[in-house]
Structure 1
């Protein structure tokens, strides 16, 4: 169900894999194996009810923000509102714990691939949720 919902925003498994691998630092010989492992973990985590519920929450919050139904100016993405990062951190932590929280900061700052696209399209919550998803999954790859 969550995969179909994400596809409505242009977020496909391939776009998630590409963004995850954009920040991969390692040997080219291992790249295909890492990508395959990432796909396996990603699909498993998308069926995790905690992860998928947090992703749905991000989608709903973005929808409410675009409808001007949040208690701040959503279009300005103000610095004092950090609940978008909290969602990303919660997803990362759910998947791989503390190490994923540190990895989240990396994905959130660099915004590779689909994360950057979502950010440029003004999705305040969904870009951080996807950054958390990828940070958690990539952290799991290297456990």
Structure 2
């Protein structure tokens, strides 16, 4: 049996045109006002750290697979319609996003809620793409927002712990 790995997860994200840098940019924008000397590279390191958690890998795989199946019209009704149309009352996509964000404390959840509400950066691009093309991005936008929120939470926790923010080690 093959389990999820970091490399496989990054490959799946890349297939959906999701890069670690774009996720990091959203996380960076969430934290830069609190940590003026924060770098995008530090947040990207936090994204990489988040993606090494097996539970996060599994949630990403499920989410992206549901988008893929819906895009191929392989889900049964009514699930097909709910995912394909990103129904506003569906909420399972936000549940998976919240689960990822929750892996990194309540600040991850509040960051995710904010990112999901305002649809910044790639989150907004994916949300609009799912509404204006045949692509299904119902879960992808929430996964990106959750990963950015989790990375921002890791950054915030490191800073709150008294670490000098110019030398944040986010690999833990």
Match of 1:86 in 2: 95
Quote the offset at 1:80 in angstroms.
Answer: 2.1
Tell me how large the CA RMSD over aligned residues is: 1.8
1:19 to 11, 26, 32: 26
8 Å contact kept, 1:22–1:113: no
Match of 1:57 in 2: 62
Q: Which runs of 5+ in 1 are unaligned?
A: none
Aligned length: 140
Question: TM-score normalised to the size of structure 1?
Answer: 0.87
Deviations 1:32-56 (A, max 9, x none): 2xx2321221111111111111011
Match of 1:133 in 2: 147
8 Å contact kept, 1:23–1:112: no
Specify whether residues 88 and 29 from structure 1 end up closer, same or farther in structure 2 by C-alpha distance, changes over 3 A only.
closer
Higher helix share: 1
Match of 2:86 in 1: 77
Counterpart check, 1:106 vs 2:114: yes
**Higher gyration radius (CA):** 2
8 Å contact kept, 1:116–1:127: yes
Quote the offset at 1:115 in angstroms.
Answer: 1.2
Question: TM-score normalised to the size of structure 2?
Answer: 0.74
